[in-house]
Structure 1
Amino acid sequence: MFYRQSGIHHTRYAATRKLWPLAADRRLLGGLLALALLAPLLLPELYLNSYLAPWLIWTAAALSLTLLMGIAGQLHFGFAAVMAIGAYTSIHLARAGVPFELALVGAGLAAALIGCVFGAAALRVKGLYLVMATLAMQYLVSWVIINVPAISGGAQATLATPEVRLLFIPLDGDTALYYTALGWTLICTLLLLNIKRSSVGRALVAVRDKDFAAAVIGVDPLRYKLLAFFTSSFLGGVSGAILAFCYYQAVTPEQFGFNVSIQLVAMVLVGGLGSVIGAYLGAGFILLLPIVLTNLLAWVAGLELFPVSFNLIAHIPLMVYGALIIAVILFEPLGLAKIYDNIRKYFLVWPFRHAQR
């Protein structure tokens, strides 16, 4: 059959640590990667710029938060502030004539340093107290951005992104912007996949499960908590810069409000805490599903089979969207990634009876 483990014999430890030992997984991944690379040729610009590119960028942001919440177990409800720091830092550096590659690094470092300052609260507190510390970061960063004209230009100001080049290629077309977003998302994906199977990843998991027990076996919780905040904030800062240059192309303080932080947490939780594929599924669920529901309802209303008010059209997708989130959490608390994993494991043994539970 096309999806079997038979015939795979591990003779070296390196073989057991492969990311995709099944040939079917490698074929599926290759097909998805080919579709992603050919998307500018297959999709209209509207779908490429309005759906696919933002989905990839928000997936990178969700992967950044997954490293902190899913792998290290540290709660963060102010991640939109981290992305805001990266976005504004990159724009100011690019306007000062810094190459875009260095501007991205500078954005990540600025977000990582400020994120570590507030993440230091994780060294002494956890749970709801840590949530309060990250909420303080969200509101403090938002206040500073709004009230310091040197950063944002003012509360109602819009800061436009300058023209830049990435690897000597000007980012002035839809295709170039899409491939930049795709490249950064792939980098985040490979980074998390390899962190999860490294000694650093195992140390972060040990700290997540029980930091006192991790300290007993020689893992320094303070060091690895700060490392998790630094790395996650660095990735989040670069994701914020990519979001500003490749999608918004102009930033305002309202684009990185508290509601954005809640959406990022929802992406991680609904997709599957600690899952890489869950970040993709969660970002698609939170970002694209409301758009699909709205378009579907507008199409049904256009048929004029029954009278529907515009107010109802605006609220029904939100109600259905909220009900679907509750349904996912109730029926599969481990998220959409677990549903995918259940389907995958079913086909590993299909059609034998012991696959049925």
Structure 2
Amino acid sequence: MLYRRAGIFHTSYADDRRLFPIPFERWAMLALLAIALAAPFMFSSLALTSYIRPWLIWSAAVLGLNLVLGWAGQFHFGYAAIMGIGAYASVHAARHGVPWEIAVVLGGLMATAVGVVFAFAALRVKGLYLALSTLAMQFVMDWVISHVPAISGGVAATLQAPPMRLLGQVVKSEAGTYYVVLAWTVAVTLFMLNLRRSALGRALVAVREKDYAAAVIGVQAFRYKLVAFAASAFIGGVSGSMLIYGFYHAVTAEQFAVNVSIEVLAMVIVGGLGSIIGSFFGTAFILLLPGQMNAFIAWAARSIGLDVGVEALAHIPYMVYGATIILVLLLEPMGLGKLYGNVRNYLMVWPFGYVRK
């Protein structure tokens, strides 16, 4: 079978700690990378710009939120504000002549600074109180961005983003923009894969499980929580910049409002807390499925000759979509990533009977 471990011998610690110890998974990752590199030549311009590119950007952002929520176990209801800070900071820096690459990094650093400042106050509380504190940060940053003309230009203003420049050259083609976005998503994914098997990752998991027990074994819980918030904020800030340069091409306050924080949180939960592949699944489920479901229901109604009103046609997909989310969470509360893990574990030991226990 595909996931067999037969014939795999770990003769060193390096072999045992490989990212993909099973040969099938290594070949699958290489195949996915080849498809990703060939995507501009395989898919239409509409699919590339409207589906694949935003999916990659939001997946990187979801991985950043999963770092603080899934690995460190800290609630964060203000992630859209973090992304907005990075987006506005990078756009202003680029408009003032800063090279694009440095502007994006500055956006991430600005998001990190603001996120850490709020984390110092928020991490004095836990659980629902922490969630409420981060939600308050979201509302504060929404107000500041909207009502400070130096940042957003006004309450209803739209700030045009300068063109993306890589090494001084303007990236005009859709394929070029796609490859920049792909490089960022791959970098974040590799960081998260290596974090899982590092001392920092193990410390974050210890803090997530029980911070008092972690302190007993020498893990400074408050320090590692700050590190988680800082790293997550940097990823969110750069992802917010990528979202503007790679998809929207203009920035407004509504793009990073509180409803966006709820959507990103839903992507993490549906995909699975602490799951890397689940972050991609959850993003696709929340971001892409509603539109596809809307088109499918409209096509099905036409196919059977059912006369469905415009209002009903607008609300039925969301009803089915919500029911689908509930069904997925009832089937596997740990999300889509755990579903994939269940199938993988089943194939590893099939056909032996103890797999059903």
TM-score when normalising by structure 1: 0.98
Residues 1:248 and 2:248 are matched in the alignment: yes
Encode CA deviations 1:92-141: one digit per residue, 9 max, x unaligned: 00000101111111000100010011111343111011111101110111
Q: Is the 2:63–2:192 contact (alpha carbons within 8 Å) kept by the matching residues of 1?
A: yes
Alpha-carbon distance, 1:240 to partner:
0.2
- For 1:276, the equivalent position in structure 2 comes to 276
Q: Distance in 1 between matches of 2:254 and 2:344?
A: 40
The one-letter amino acid paired with 2:18 is K
Encode CA deviations 1:144-164: one digit per residue, 9 max, x unaligned: 111011111111111111123
Encode CA deviations 1:45-66: one digit per residue, 9 max, x unaligned: 0000000000000000000000
* Structure 1: stretches of 5+ with no match in the other structure: none
- For 1:75, the equivalent position in structure 2 comes to 75
Q: Distance in 2 between matches of 1:123 and 1:140?
A: 17
The one-letter amino acid paired with 1:290 is P
The one-letter amino acid paired with 1:133 is S
Q: Is the 1:94–1:164 contact (alpha carbons within 8 Å) kept by the matching residues of 2?
A: no
- For 2:42, the equivalent position in structure 1 comes to 42
Aligned to 1:156, the other structure's residue is in SS state: coil
Q: Which runs of 4+ in 1 moved over 4 A?
A: none
Q: Is the 2:123–2:130 contact (alpha carbons within 8 Å) kept by the matching residues of 1?
A: no
Residues 1:85 and 2:85 are matched in the alignment: yes
The one-letter amino acid paired with 2:194 is N
- For 1:167, the equivalent position in structure 2 comes to 167
Alpha-carbon distance, 1:172 to partner:
1.6
Aligned to 1:19, the other structure's residue is in SS state: coil
- For 1:100, the equivalent position in structure 2 comes to 100
Alpha-carbon distance, 1:348 to partner:
1.4
Q: Distance in 1 between matches of 2:43 and 2:33?
A: 15
- For 1:223, the equivalent position in structure 2 comes to 223
Q: Distance in 2 between matches of 1:13 and 1:113?
A: 37
Q: Is the 1:268–1:279 contact (alpha carbons within 8 Å) kept by the matching residues of 2?
A: yes
What is the percent sequence identity of the aligned residues?
A: 55
Q: Is the 2:82–2:115 contact (alpha carbons within 8 Å) kept by the matching residues of 1?
A: yes
Q: Distance in 2 between matches of 1:356 and 1:73?
A: 30
The one-letter amino acid paired with 2:103 is A
- For 1:22, the equivalent position in structure 2 comes to 22
Q: Distance in 1 between matches of 2:209 and 2:228?
A: 14
Q: Is the 2:99–2:165 contact (alpha carbons within 8 Å) kept by the matching residues of 1?
A: yes
- For 1:290, the equivalent position in structure 2 comes to 290
- For 2:312, the equivalent position in structure 1 comes to 312
Aligned to 1:218, the other structure's residue is in SS state: coil
Q: Is the 1:87–1:244 contact (alpha carbons within 8 Å) kept by the matching residues of 2?
A: yes
The one-letter amino acid paired with 2:108 is G
Alpha-carbon distance, 1:3 to partner:
2.8
Q: Distance in 2 between matches of 1:152 and 1:265?
A: 25
Q: Distance in 1 between matches of 2:304 and 2:340?
A: 37
- For 1:195, the equivalent position in structure 2 comes to 195
Q: Distance in 1 between matches of 2:72 and 2:92?
A: 32
The one-letter amino acid paired with 2:289 is L
TM-score when normalising by structure 2: 0.98
- For 1:336, the equivalent position in structure 2 comes to 336
Q: Give 1:204-223 correspondences, 5 Å limit.
A: 204-223=204-223
Alpha-carbon distance, 1:303 to partner:
2.9
Alpha-carbon distance, 1:304 to partner:
5.6
Alpha-carbon distance, 1:346 to partner:
1.6
Q: Distance in 1 between matches of 2:343 and 2:14?
A: 27
Q: Is the 1:74–1:122 contact (alpha carbons within 8 Å) kept by the matching residues of 2?
A: no
Aligned to 1:124, the other structure's residue is in SS state: coil
- For 2:144, the equivalent position in structure 1 comes to 144
- For 2:8, the equivalent position in structure 1 comes to 8
* Structure 2: stretches of 5+ with no match in the other structure: none
The one-letter amino acid paired with 1:31 is A
Alpha-carbon distance, 1:236 to partner:
0.3
Encode CA deviations 1:295-314: one digit per residue, 9 max, x unaligned: 11122233361111111111
Higher mean displacement: 28-37 or 234-243? 28-37
The one-letter amino acid paired with 2:264 is L
Q: Is the 1:99–1:164 contact (alpha carbons within 8 Å) kept by the matching residues of 2?
A: no
Aligned to 1:327, the other structure's residue is in SS state: helix
Q: Distance in 2 between matches of 1:226 and 1:351?
A: 46
Alpha-carbon distance, 1:327 to partner:
1.4
- For 1:110, the equivalent position in structure 2 comes to 110
Alpha-carbon distance, 1:168 to partner:
4.0
Q: Is the 2:99–2:168 contact (alpha carbons within 8 Å) kept by the matching residues of 1?
A: no
Q: Is the 1:121–1:130 contact (alpha carbons within 8 Å) kept by the matching residues of 2?
A: no
Q: Distance in 2 between matches of 1:223 and 1:203?
A: 10
The one-letter amino acid paired with 1:33 is L
Higher mean displacement: 113-122 or 85-94? 113-122
Q: Distance in 1 between matches of 2:13 and 2:356?
A: 32
